[in-house]
């Protein structure tokens, strides 16, 4: 019975919530395969306390992957230590989160382990030939269904926010095992990647996080000047804030503190109004917890409409003007 490995997402020595989503995906794989045993791997310089707590909380078996070099994330160290461990286990599946860390080390791990590698998985299914993995492609307008080649293991990175964490069976306690693995840098005695510092681009996205209503703009607003209309529109609502999709920040139209999505803020307002946002999976991951979603877009096929409560197919500027007129008469 081959094992299904979950590689925990660690940050500053703390296990991250994304780990429970990956564990839920692992449970789904086990159920669909009708076999397999799940093990959670915790890479850390001091994994024992976290491993014990995790085994207690989840009821699953945990391997603490211990190395002094695993204190902070380093792709070379992660790949080498994980490879050494994984080789001895020979699992059928290796799962991790599609985060800045996961997508950094997982593809390389798949190469050294001669495994298939499927990124950004958003659903797991099966047909008569085995398990199938779905991933969002073409600007989130399609899901591509992929299967690994026969007889090889697979490394999966899972889209954050998609798999709902399970209620764990913590009646029983999982077993804890510590594996100490030394990292040895290639020939020379130095690491190839040196960590200098952590920088913070902006510490103030509190405005977005606390807002009850968020009016967001995407590339579909056309030009930078049209952001004024978005701000004016947002003023129709009390306790509102303006959000944007990533391209607007990349183009320098507005500051990072307004960015909603996987690399920006995750928000959960009572109302989210998406203006000219096509709806990439990265953006959706940041606003899926909004209570009510209204989308305005002149493209009737924009993916955002599949994830909206109310859909308005119109050009942004004329629509906002029409709306302001209605507000003025009330």
Partner 1 sequence: MKSLICIKQSNESGEMNLFDTHAIEEALKLKQKFENRGYQEDFSVDVVTIGPSENSKIIKRAFGMGADKGYHVITKERGYSFSFETASRLAAVAKKESYDLILTGIMSQDLMAGQTGPMLAEILNLPCVTGVVKTELAADNSSIKVEQEMENGFRNGLEIILPAVLTIQAGINTPRYPTLSRMLAAGKKEIMTFNETDLFSKKTGAVQAREIFVSMEDPQKTRAGHLLQGSLADKAKQLFTVLHGKALI
Q: Which of residues 25-84 bind partner 1 (CB under 8 A)?
A: 75-76, 79
DSSP state of 242: E
Q: Is 182 in the site for partner 1 (CB under 8 A)?
A: no
**Smaller CB separation from partner 1, 175 or 206:** 206
Distance CA 131, CA 193 (A): 37
Q: Is 215 in the site for partner 1 (CB under 8 A)?
A: no
**Smaller CB separation from partner 1, 36 or 161:** 161
Query: What residues from 120 to 139 belong to the interface with partner 1 (CB under 8 A)?
Result: 120, 132, 134-139
Query: What residues from 244 to 263 belong to the interface with partner 1 (CB under 8 A)?
Result: 246-247, 249-250, 256-257, 262-263
Q: How far apart are CB 120 and partner 1 at their closest, in Å? A: 6
DSSP state of 140: T
3-state secondary structure of 97: strand
Q: Tokens for 250?
A: 């990349």
Dihedral angle sign, alpha carbons of residues 71, 74, 80, 86? positive
Q: Is 19 in the site for partner 1 (CB under 8 A)?
A: no
Residue with tokens 């990533």: 246
Query: What residues from 289 to 328 belong to the interface with partner 1 (CB under 8 A)?
Result: 292-294, 303, 305-314, 318-319, 322-323, 325-327
Q: How far apart are CB 94 and partner 1 at their closest, in Å? A: 14
Q: How far apart are CB 104 and partner 1 at their closest, in Å? A: 5
**Smaller CB separation from partner 1, 32 or 146:** 146
| Best CA proximity match to 121, nearest among 90, 106, 37 | 106
Q: Tokens for 202?
A: 């902006």
3-state secondary structure of 246: helix
| Best CA proximity match to 232, nearest among 327, 132, 136, 130 | 327
| Best CA proximity match to 174, nearest among 50, 32, 81, 84 | 50
Which stretch, 26-34, 49-57, 110-118, 221-229, contacts partner 1 (CB under 8 A)? 110-118
Q: Is 203 in the site for partner 1 (CB under 8 A)?
A: yes
Q: How far apart are CB 322 and partner 1 at their closest, in Å? A: 4
Q: Is 99 in the site for partner 1 (CB under 8 A)?
A: yes
Main-chain dihedrals φ then ψ at residue 303, nearest 5 degrees: -55, -25
Task: Tell me, by CB under 8 A, how many residues bind partner 1.
Answer: 92
| Best CA proximity match to 285, nearest among 307, 301, 302 | 307
Binding residue for partner 1, selected from 128, 149, 167, 184, defined by CB under 8 A: 149
Residue with tokens 């209620």: 167
| Best CA proximity match to 47, nearest among 72, 23, 66 | 66
Q: Is 278 in the site for partner 1 (CB under 8 A)?
A: no
**Smaller CB separation from partner 1, 49 or 139:** 139
Q: Let me know: does 33 contact 153? Beta carbons within 8 Å.
A: no
**Smaller CB separation from partner 1, 1 or 198:** 198
Q: How far apart are CB 172 and partner 1 at their closest, in Å? A: 33
Binding residue for partner 1, selected from 167, 171, 194, 228, defined by CB under 8 A: 194
Residue 294's CB is within 10 A of a number of other CB atoms, namely 16
Q: How far apart are CB 5 and partner 1 at their closest, in Å? A: 18
Q: Is 14 in the site for partner 1 (CB under 8 A)?
A: no
For 147, what's the count of Cα atoms within 13 Å in the CB-facing half-sphere? 11
**Smaller CB separation from partner 1, 182 or 327:** 327
């Amino acid at each position: 019975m081959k094992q299904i490995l979950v590689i925990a997402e660690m940050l500053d020595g703390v296990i991250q919530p994304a780990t429970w989503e990956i564990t839920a995906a692992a449970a789904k794989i086990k159920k669909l395969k009708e076999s397999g045993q799940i093990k959670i791997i915790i890479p850390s310089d001091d994994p024992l306390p976290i491993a014990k707590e995790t085994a207690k909380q989840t009821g699953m078996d945990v391997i603490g992957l211990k190395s002094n070099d695993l204190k902070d994330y380093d792709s070379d160290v992660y790949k080498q230590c994980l490879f050494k461990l994984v080789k001895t286990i020979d699992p059928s599946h290796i799962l991790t989160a599609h985060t800045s860390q996961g997508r950094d080390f997982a593809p390389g791990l798949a190469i050294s382990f001669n495994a298939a590698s499927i990124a950004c998985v958003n659903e797991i299914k099966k047909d008569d030939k085995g398990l199938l993995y779905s991933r969002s492609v073409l600007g989130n307008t399609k899901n591509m269904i992929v299967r690994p080649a026969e007889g090889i293991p697979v490394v999966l990175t899972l889209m954050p926010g998609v798999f709902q964490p399970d209620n764990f069976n913590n009646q029983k306690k999982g077993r804890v095992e510590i594996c100490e693995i030394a990292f040895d840098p290639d020939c020379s005695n130095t690491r190839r990647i040196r960590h200098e510092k952590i920088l913070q681009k902006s510490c103030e996205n509190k405005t977005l996080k606390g807002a009850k209503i968020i009016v967001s703009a995407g590339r579909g607003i056309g030009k930078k000047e049209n952001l004024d209309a978005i701000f004016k529109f947002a003023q129709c609502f009390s306790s509102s804030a303006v959000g944007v999709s990533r391209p607007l920040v990349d183009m320098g139209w507005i500051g990072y503190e307004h960015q909603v999505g996987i690399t920006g803020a995750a928000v959960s307002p009572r109302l989210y109004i998406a203006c000219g946002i096509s709806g990439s999976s990265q953006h959706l991951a940041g606003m899926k917890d909004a209570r009510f979603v209204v989308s305005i877009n002149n493209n009737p096929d924009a993916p955002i409409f599949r994830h909206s409560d109310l859909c308005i197919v119109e050009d942004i500027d004329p629509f906002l003007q029409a709306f302001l007129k209605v507000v003025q008469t009330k």
